[in-house]
């Protein structure tokens, strides 16, 4: 790694920030803790400037006390550099302006980190892997995201996945309905139909290619998060059950609502307590069981190849460009949940229209609220 040619987002280190209303005393403490020669000052989530030990001395020489605010002494005129600029630009600016540190600032005044002469001599190793990765399985391949960046199939494939999963549920629910109506009248209890619908949906999903792609997605996420090589051979050795899979959340919600809506015990407060205890205790092991035998299936080489392609695409973007932290709306958009829901709703509208055109009796219709994404 040659720091002179590296982009600054690889060289800059994060630092504790303070606000302009903080005191000189706090600034001095942070300078001692960080050891970077400067502390960034942030106001309304935007970079304002730096404070150095020289600024503290200047403040004291002008009669300030340790408990005065730092705002008058912030270095707002010091130049900054963009994340994509190189260590050579930082070196040139450090020398020309006789600075102890340079702030790396992204568009919209987002503070990225500090670059100092020490870091140009002995840079901190750049973290080239995201710590956590989320993903979705789609009929067209694997979608992966860090919340700020994404790789693999495009967003429209997530919409197709939502429609596909609704289609599987729609078929399973109709099969369950016919089987339910064939039961003796005494056995036609609503919860039995709900259970049959869920089982037939899982069976349809397990037999579909989506379950194998879902497994490949989990295996790729494991490889990335364990800092393993993203190759077919390595990914194929990864487990196909993932602790952050949406299946676990679905099972947890089902357990909680099932116990809460049960007739026993009669006291609602006790039922709520039991529902919480059952959910906390069982949602992970039961969710892992459903993943293993329902929502994933052993991936073949062609499915693993889809996961590897998505993983390499995501890491290439993550390693080759600066990606600012994502806002909450951006994280939600990149999660894929909204796209899955849109696809499922569109498919449901098509099914309802088909009911009307074909004049299907109301007693033979199924209505789905089962819009659940699958992926960690």
Report mean pLDDT in 10-residue bins for the chain, 376 residues: 87 92 95 92 95 95 96 95 94 94 93 93 78 95 95 96 96 93 90 91 96 98 95 97 95 91 85 93 95 96 98 91 84 94 95 92 70 44
Centre a 10 Å sphere on the Cβ of residue 305 and count the other Cβ atoms it contains.
16
As a whole number of angstroms, the distance between CA 336 and CA 139 comes to 14
Pairwise CA distance, residues 145 & 307, whole Å: 12
What was the pLDDT predicted at 124? 78
Question: H/E element holding 92?
Answer: helix 87-96
Instruction: State the pLDDT at residue 127.
Output: 63
Angle made by CA atoms 35, 71, 19, in degrees to the nearest 5: 60
**pLDDT for position 122:** 84
Q: If you ran DSSP here, which 8-state letter would residue 325 be given?
A: P
In the chain, where the domains are located: 8-121, 134-240+296-364
**How far apart, in whole angstroms, are the C-alpha atoms of residue 69 and residue 59?**
10
| Backbone φ, ψ for residue 72 (5° rounding) | -65, -15
pLDDT for position 320: 79
Residue 367: per-residue pLDDT: 66
Identify the pLDDT of residue 325: 78
Q: How far is CA 353 from CA 324, 358, 362, 367, in A?
A: 44, 9, 13, 13
d(CA 298, CA 280): 28
According to DSSP, the β-strands at 134-138 and 141-145 are: antiparallel
Query: Cα 325 to chain center, whole Å?
Result: 11
Report the top-level CATH class of 8-121.
Answer: alpha beta
Q: What pLDDT does residue 1 have?
A: 66
């Amino acid at each position: 790694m040659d720091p002179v040619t590296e982009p600054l987002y690889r060289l800059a280190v994060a630092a504790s920030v303070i606000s302009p209303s903080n005191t000189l005393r706090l600034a001095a403490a942070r300078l001692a803790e960080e050891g970077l020669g400067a502390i960034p000052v942030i106001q309304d989530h935007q970079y304002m400037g730096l404070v150095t030990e020289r600024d503290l001395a200047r403040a004291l020489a002008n009669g300030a006390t340790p408990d005065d605010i730092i705002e008058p002494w912030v270095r707002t005129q010091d130049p900054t550099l963009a994340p994509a600029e190189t260590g050579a630009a930082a070196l040139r600016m450090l020398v020309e302006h006789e600075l102890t540190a340079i702030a790396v600032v992204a568009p919209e005044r987002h503070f990225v980190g500090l670059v100092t002469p020490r870091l140009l001599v002995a840079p901190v190793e750049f973290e080239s892997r995201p710590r956590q990765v989320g993903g979705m399985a789609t009929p067209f391949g694997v979608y992966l995201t860090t919340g700020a960046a994404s790789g693999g199939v495009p967003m429209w494939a997530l919409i197709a996945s939502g429609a596909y999963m609704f289609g599987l549920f729609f078929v399973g629910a109709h099969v369950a309905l016919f089987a339910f109506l064939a039961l003796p009248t005494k056995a036609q209890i609503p919860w039995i139909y709900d259970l049959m619908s869920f089982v037939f949906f899982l069976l349809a999903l397990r037999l579909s290619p989506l379950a194998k792609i879902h497994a490949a997605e989990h295996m790729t996420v494991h490889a990335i998060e364990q800092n393993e090589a993203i190759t077919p051979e390595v990914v194929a050795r990864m487990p196909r059950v993932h602790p952050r899979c949406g299946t676990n959340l679905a099972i947890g919600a089902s357990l909680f609502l099932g116990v809460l809506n049960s007739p026993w015990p009669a006291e609602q407060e006790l039922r709520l307590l039991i529902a919480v205890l059952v959910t906390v205790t069982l949602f992970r092991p039961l969710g892992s069981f459903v993943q293993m035998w329902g929502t994933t299936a052993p991936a073949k080489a062609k499915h693993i190849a889809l996961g590897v392609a998505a993983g390499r695409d995501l890491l290439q973007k993550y390693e080759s460009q600066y990606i600012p932290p994502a806002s909450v709306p951006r994280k939600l958009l990149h999660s894929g949940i909204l796209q899955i829901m849109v696809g499922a709703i569109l498919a449901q509208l098509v099914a309802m229209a088909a009911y009307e055109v074909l004049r299907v009796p109301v007693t033979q219709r199924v209505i789905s609220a089962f819009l659940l994404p699958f992926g960690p």
